Structure 1
Amino acid sequence: MSLTEVIGFVAGFGTTFAALPDLLAMLKRRSCKGMNPTMAAIMGTFQILWVYYGWLIGSRPVMVWNVVAVAINFLMVGSYVHFTRLERK
């Protein structure tokens, strides 16, 4: 693995897991208060484009970190839907 890829993996780590504290807080309090599903959906959409871009340029760090970020955003939107339904009852 080249130094460029190592730097890409390290840089991607920080940006990928930036949303994780919000997801964990939402799961801990079992509420979607304070969460903006539109932001998560927009981020997820553009992260899918980043995965495609990473594939086009052959960059493993771009693809790997954005696949993880898409999964985190998918969990955030799924949790939002779940907790919204619970709060309506």
Structure 2
Amino acid sequence: MDFTIIIGLIAGEGTTFAALPDLITMVRRRSSRGMNPRMAAITGSFQVLWVVYGALIGSTSVVLWNIIAVLVNSFTVAAFVFFRRAEHGRSTPAPA
């Protein structure tokens, strides 16, 4: 295996799973306290562009790593919303 490919795989894995500790912490605490979903949403948005870029240049590894990263960031934002609603109650009344 080429050294360049090894570096790319390591870098892809590192950046892909960088948000995972925040997600795990939030799920274990069952709390959104201390989390900023904006960062995950911004990062996830740009990772979508990386998926497009990877497809345009024909790089399977760029596409796959970033699809996984988008999923991790999406789960982080979804968990934030879920726990935030649980912490503050359903402040929005049900439609009549």
Q: Give me the identity figure in percent.
A: 57
Cα distance in 2 between the residues matched to 1:64 and 1:49: 13
1:81 to partner: Cα distance: 0.6
User: 1:32–1:83: 8 Å Cα contact kept in structure 2?
Assistant: yes
Which structure 2 segments of 5+ residues have no match?
90-96
1:6 to partner: Cα distance: 3.8
Q: Quote the residue 1:37 is aligned against.
A: 37
- Tell me which amino acid in the other structure corresponds to 1:14: G
- 2:81 is the counterpart of 1:81: yes
Q: Quote the residue 1:46 is aligned against.
A: 46
- Report which of the two structures shows the higher radius of gyration computed on alpha carbons: 2
Q: Deviations over 1:30-82 (max 9, x none)?
A: 00111111111100100000000000001111111100000000000000110
Q: Deviations over 1:3-51 (max 9, x none)?
A: 2444322220011111101100000000011111111110010000000
Coordinate RMSD, CA, aligned: 1.2
**The residue matched to 2:32 in structure 1 has which SS?**
coil
Which structure 1 segments of 5+ residues have no match?
none
TM-score normalised by the chain length of structure 2: 0.85
Q: Quote the residue 1:55 is aligned against.
A: 55
User: 1:35–1:80: 8 Å Cα contact kept in structure 2?
Assistant: yes
Q: Which runs of 4+ in 1 moved over 2 A?
A: 2-7
- Tell me which amino acid in the other structure corresponds to 2:47: Q
Cα distance in 2 between the residues matched to 1:61 and 1:80: 29
Structure holding more helix per residue: 1
